[in-house]
Amino acid sequence: MEKIINYTKGGFTVTTDKEKIDIDTLHNFFNKSYWANDRTKQTIIVSIENSLCFSMFKGEKQIGFARVITDYATFAYLCDVFIQEDYRGNGLGIWMLECILNYPNLLDLKKWLLATRDAHELYRKFGFSSLVNPEKYMEIVN
């Protein structure tokens, strides 16, 4: 179902090729994040194996990442989105989201979800909004 696609712009590349993912870079970033600071490398590897992944590179250096958990038919959950701090403020996050939302196998999805503590304004630019009916949604937090 997953088709490897490479997008290029101004010396940067976004790719869906999982073979290029730098696990150490992800693990180091997640260890400092508010949402994934307890993930082991093995957990990261398993999550990659079971998701559609978008990695951003400057040359050979991984500077961004996002995962999409999807059935490719009706639903997607966007998660683990980041751009390394040194590269923020240059529109790279916007470009990566454009790549994700225009990925051919995701174009017909009816529902996207994500969770964020501090990037609401970025996601609103792409049509994301607060839950219309939050009382419908439930969760288990372990």
pLDDT of residue 141: 87
> Do the domain assignments include residue 125?
yes
Residue 89 tokens, joined: 């403020």
Residue 2 banded pLDDT, cuts 50, 70, 90: confident
pLDDT of residue 37: 87
> Do the domain assignments include residue 57?
yes
Condensed to tens digits (0 to 9), the pLDDT of residues 34-75 reads 889 899 999 999 999 999 999 999 999 999 999 999 999 999
> Do the domain assignments include residue 36?
yes
pLDDT of residue 74: 96
Expressed as residue numbers, the domain containing 77 is 6-136
Give the bridge partners for 76, in sequence order: 70, 112
Condensed to tens digits (0 to 9), the pLDDT of residues 15-28 reads 999 999 999 999 99
The pair phi, psi for residue 136, each rounded to 5°, is -75, -25
Q: Where are the alpha helices (DSSP H) in the chain?
A: 23-31, 41-49, 92-101, 120-124
> Do the domain assignments include residue 142?
no
Give the bridge partners for 55, in sequence order: 15, 65
Mean pLDDT within 115-136: 91
Total of domains in the chain: 1
Mean pLDDT within 1-21: 93
What whole-number distance in Å separates Cα of residue 135 and Cα of residue 119? Answer: 22
> Do the domain assignments include residue 82?
yes
Query: Between these two residues, 132 and 67, which has the higher pLDDT value?
Result: 67
> Do the domain assignments include residue 116?
yes
Q: What is the pTM of this model?
A: 0.93
pLDDT of residue 1: 58
> Do the domain assignments include residue 97?
yes
Residue with tokens 């970025």: 122
What CATH number corresponds to the domain at position 84? Answer: 3.40.630.30
Please tell me the total number of residues recorded for the chain in this structure. 142
CA atoms within 13 A on the CB side of 80: 27
> Do the domain assignments include residue 72?
yes
Residue 49 tokens, joined: 């194996």
Element (H, E) at 75: strand 75-83
User: What's the chain's average pLDDT?
Assistant: 94
pLDDT of residue 60: 95
